[in-house]
Amino acid sequence: MSERKVLNKYIPPDFDPSLIPRRKQPKNAQQVVRLMAPFSMRCNTCGEYIYKGKKFNARKETVEGEDYYGIKIFRFYIKCTLCSAEITFKTDPKNTDYAAEHGASRNFEPWREEQAVEEEDRLAKLEEEESNPMKALENRTIDSKREMDILDALQDIRARNARNERVGQAVDLVASLGVEEIENEEDKERKRLDEEDEEEVRRVFSRVPAEDSGDSGKGFLTVKRKAEGDEPDVTSLLSESTKSLLADKPLSISRKRKADSKNSLGVKLVKKKAKPALAA
């Protein structure tokens, strides 16, 4: 597929570029360039706000009679987007920036004002030192003292940080040991409480031997006792008359059980008599 745009053009061998006539242009001709607004500005005619970076078709020309150490200064012409008023600004090689010239005012930028004030103070200080050597010596002494104070403060900060780091490590170690000790104390307290509970259970539920137990292997009874104290005796619960009656006629409790003809199901068993045999 052939190219849509041909970039190479044929030049005949007998071509002489010196024969081409030169166009006559004015000395300070303007050029149309495409650029973006280098700073935010406000139109003086209509008050329209033009933000930084807005694109314009501008006209560029070289400023006559102005330069900065041989560097040319250029002027740009743009139009307001609302009222089409002409706005001009030019380059500022000294501050590596642009400066508003006509038709618009640059928006307030605090950092630019601070930089300007600092630069003015620095220049005034240099002029004063050049005219007064004693003032220059005094300024150097003050600067060296300030540097020493800064170094001392920096050293103190470093020492404090190192001490805090060591203390922090020690505190972490002590805290970890304290946690282990607390865990051990909790385990000991829990174990002691468990042992007390078991001892209380053994004391309340004790096993005593039964007097009349048919099976020797199972001749123990589980007796429940009160937690506050021992159970009172049975005789202590009786009245005085009952106690005297028991003392005069002791009761004998028979341990024999009457044989019951009923089985465990409650059915009475009756033995049948045998019938006599018939004679042959």
Annotated binding site for Zn(2+): 43, 46, 80, 83
Positions at the binding site: 43, 46, 80, 83
Q: Label the pairing between strands 49-50 and 55-68.
A: unpaired
Residues forming beta bridges with residue 59, ordered by sequence position = 32, 77
Phi, psi (deg, nearest 5) at residue 219: -90, 45
Cα(50)–Cα(79) distance, rounded to whole angstroms?
11
User: What single-letter amino acid sits at 129?
Assistant: E
Cα(238)–Cα(232) distance, rounded to whole angstroms?
11
Please give the radius of gyration of the chain, using alpha carbons only, rounded to the nearest integer: 60
On the 0-12 / 13-18 / 19+ scale of CB atoms within 10 A, 139 is middle
Contact between residue 76 and residue 35 where contact means Cβ atoms under 8 Å apart:
yes
Q: Which helix (H) or strand (E) holds 124?
A: helix 110-131
Cα(201)–Cα(160) distance, rounded to whole angstroms?
60
- Which token pair is 233? 């005796």
User: What single-letter amino acid sits at 235?
Assistant: T
How many Cα atoms within 13 Å fall on the side-chain side of residue 170?
Answer: 6
User: What single-letter amino acid sits at 28?
Assistant: N
Give the alpha-carbon dihedral of 61, 63, 69, 70, to 10 degrees: 50
Contact between residue 52 and residue 39 where contact means Cβ atoms under 8 Å apart:
yes
